[in-house]
Amino acid sequence: MDTQNFIPKSLKNSIENASHTWLTPSNIALVKYWGKSEPQIPKNASVSFTLSKSHTKTTIDFTRTEKVEIPEFDLFFEGKKKDDFKPKIAKFFERILEYCPYLLEYRLTIHSENSFPHSSGIASSASGMSAIAMCLMSLERSLCDVEISDEFITKKASFLARLGSGSASRSIEGPLVVWGKHEAIEESSDLYGVQFPYKVHSIFENYQDTILLVDKGEKQVSSTVGHNLMHNHPFAKQRFDQANENLERISKYLQNGDINSFISLVESEALSLHAMMLTSNPYFILMKPNTLEIINAIWRYRNVTGSNVCFTLDAGANVHVLYPENEKENVLQFIEEQLSQYCQKNQYICDNVGFGAKKL
């Protein structure tokens, strides 16, 4: 499928008002995406667990207007008008205009809220952008005079979400989504995420992710800046090759249940992502002292108990603690007794793998 398929051919344009609400989750990458070319084409393929409880709920009210030059909208976040979030959404709308020309015929009122605490350091762009994409697809479905399939809706929503934030392409479906063309993953594409197409071993069913909130402040370096620093990065090529190799390897582990290899790959991916930040020019550090305290405590606990708990990191200081469902009781006790002291206000979020976007 190429980009032309996402330009709507026949719209009947007869709807005056519409309102759609979607709840879409965040996701956590196991093999990381870090580095892209225009327009939001990843330099390597990535795979993530879709989360369940960390989500964004977005309602868009569409009111038909005279045709305008650029999309017009109001944005409310957690009930309050949020003009400072508007430029990012305006840029997103500009990027997708070719694929959603109906944006010029409606005025949009967007109401959005997150299930996770505001500025908890959890990236909300994946859940936020995917929720908007799903609302637009609901409108598009009703404007189209031919039936469009659920499969097309999912694909195009992921395609649109990607143009808002790359990782958002992986937040439409679940439990495992691959984004980026890779020969080991059938049907994979740089343009949208696809569900991991092979049978996953039962050890990874309902996998748990407890997110330790180490630093809730604004990130000092945005992911946009971070991605850009991969241009001319001395280790860029090695990193993109490594990630693509890791994707092929993790695909095997997910199928055969080799959890030890899964753990070392996932932790190595997290540290490789941060190694790119440490070695870019300018260099930067997003981990905090408590991030390292937690990593060391996880390693000690694993050595002593033989647990299968492991960690991964996003572009921030928070730690995602990943473990099989059958270890839930023990690991939660370990987190409460030993790790929560490293979290701001002892806060953490107990999440697990989920299945993607839901219409409300």
Interatomic CA distance for residues 140 and 153, integer angstroms = 9
Q: Is 340 exposed, middle or buried (0-12, 13-18, 19+ CB in 10 A)?
A: middle
User: Contact, 197 vs 241, CB < 8 A?
Assistant: no
Q: Give the nearer residue to ligand PMV in terms of CB position, either 106 or 312.
A: 312
- CA triple 274-354-349, angle to 5 deg: 60
User: Contact, 192 vs 65, CB < 8 A?
Assistant: no
Q: Is 234 helix (H, G, I), strand (E, B) or coil?
A: coil
Q: Which two tokens stand for residue 356?
A: 């993607």
Which residue of 23, 29, 265, 266 would you call a contact of ligand PMV, by CB under 6 A? 29
CB of residue 166 to ligand PMV, shortest distance in Å: 4
E strands, the chain, are 17-31, 36-37, 41-42, 46-64, 72-77, 80-81, 106-114, 176-179, 193-195, 208-212, 310-313, 319-323, 348-352, 358-359
E strands, 129-225, are 176-179, 193-195, 208-212
User: Contact, 179 vs 170, CB < 8 A?
Assistant: yes
Cα dist from 79 to 72, 113, 129, 134, 178, whole Å: 19, 8, 18, 20, 34
Write each residue from 160 to 179 as x if it is in contact with ligand PMV (CB under 6 A), else as -, in one continuous string: -----xxx------------
CB of residue 245 to ligand PMV, shortest distance in Å: 16
Site for ligand PMV in 61-120 (CB under 6 A): none
Q: Give the nearer residue to ligand PMV in terms of CB position, either 97 or 221.
A: 221
User: How many chain residues are in contact with ligand PMV, going by CB under 6 A?
Assistant: 15
Which residue of 20, 32, 156, 274 would you call a contact of ligand PMV, by CB under 6 A? 32
CB of residue 9 to ligand PMV, shortest distance in Å: 30
Site for ligand PMV in 118-157 (CB under 6 A): 123, 125
Q: Give the nearer residue to ligand PMV in terms of CB position, either 143 or 287.
A: 287
Write each residue from 42 to 61 as x if it is in contact with ligand PMV (CB under 6 A), else as -, in one continuous string: ----x---------------
Write each residue from 229 to 268 as x if it is in contact with ligand PMV (CB under 6 A), else as -, in one continuous string: ----------------------------------------
CB of residue 270 to ligand PMV, shortest distance in Å: 9
Which residue of 314, 324, 334, 343 would you call a contact of ligand PMV, by CB under 6 A? 314
Q: Which two tokens stand for residue 193?
A: 């995420």
- Does position 158 bind ligand PMV by CB under 6 A? no
User: Contact, 116 vs 349, CB < 8 A?
Assistant: yes
The span of 27-35, 54-62, 67-75, 189-197 binding ligand PMV (CB under 6 A) equals 27-35
Give strand pairing partners of 231.
none
- What string of DSSP letters covers 25-85? EEEEEEE----EETTTEESS-EEEEEEEEEEEEEEEEEEE-S--SS-EEEEEETTEE-GGG
Which residue of 230, 315, 319, 339 would you call a contact of ligand PMV, by CB under 6 A? 315
Q: Give the nearer residue to ligand PMV in terms of CB position, either 66 or 84.
A: 84
Q: Give the nearer residue to ligand PMV in terms of CB position, either 166 or 324.
A: 166
Q: Give the nearer residue to ligand PMV in terms of CB position, either 102 or 125.
A: 125
Q: Give the nearer residue to ligand PMV in terms of CB position, either 236 or 315.
A: 315
Q: Give the nearer residue to ligand PMV in terms of CB position, either 136 or 277.
A: 277
Q: Give the nearer residue to ligand PMV in terms of CB position, either 32 or 239.
A: 32
CB of residue 77 to ligand PMV, shortest distance in Å: 18
What is the DSSP code (8-state) at residue 325? Answer: G
Q: Which residues contact 64 (CB under 8 A, 6 or more apart)?
A: 15, 16, 17, 105, 106
First to last CA, the chain: 29
Q: Which residues bind ligand PMV (CB under 6 A)?
A: 29, 32-34, 46, 123, 125, 165-167, 223, 227, 273, 314-315
